[in-house]
Amino acid sequence: AQTVTQSQPEMSVQEAETVTLSCTYDTSESDYYLFWYKQPPSRQMILVIRQEAYKQQNATENRFSVNFQKAAKSFSLKISDSQLGDAAMYFCAYRNRDDKIIFGKGTRLHILP
């Protein structure tokens, strides 16, 4: 079975600075998808970024980018120019061939003004 590990329960970053959230996963599949979701206090799940495992190029969405290391099974999220609105719970997620999504335990990100 696949597992997703987020080793940082909480992180803080100064506004306008850069922060990296780590995520590792375990799988025997070769084709899969990875996602980062954001959950603000409203508890709405918001997609931040996605990565297809067959693509070597790291995905980028504005201030958000990933460092995808397939051999190491690592999928970290970098947030540049952090903003107060980025404060939320961030979940790393793995989607397997059965379409199920497995979430990590999450990292709570605090933005310091």
Instruction: Using CB under 8 A, list all residues that contact other proteins.
Output: 33, 35, 42-45, 47, 50, 52, 91, 95, 99-106
Give the shortest CB-52-to-other proteins separation in angstroms. 5
Q: Which is nearer to other proteins, 97 or 112 (CB)?
A: 97
Give Cβ neighbours of residue 92 (< 8 Å, ≥ 6 apart): 4, 6, 21, 23, 25, 34, 35, 36, 75, 77, 103, 104
Give the shortest CB-17-to-other proteins separation in angstroms. 25
Give the shortest CB-54-to-other proteins separation in angstroms. 10
Residues across the chain = 113
Q: Which is nearer to other proteins, 68 or 106 (CB)?
A: 106
Give the shortest CB-95-to-other proteins separation in angstroms. 8
Q: Which is nearer to other proteins, 16 or 47 (CB)?
A: 47
User: What is the DSSP pairing of strand 60-61 with strand 3-5?
Assistant: unpaired
Give Cβ neighbours of residue 62 (< 8 Å, ≥ 6 apart): none
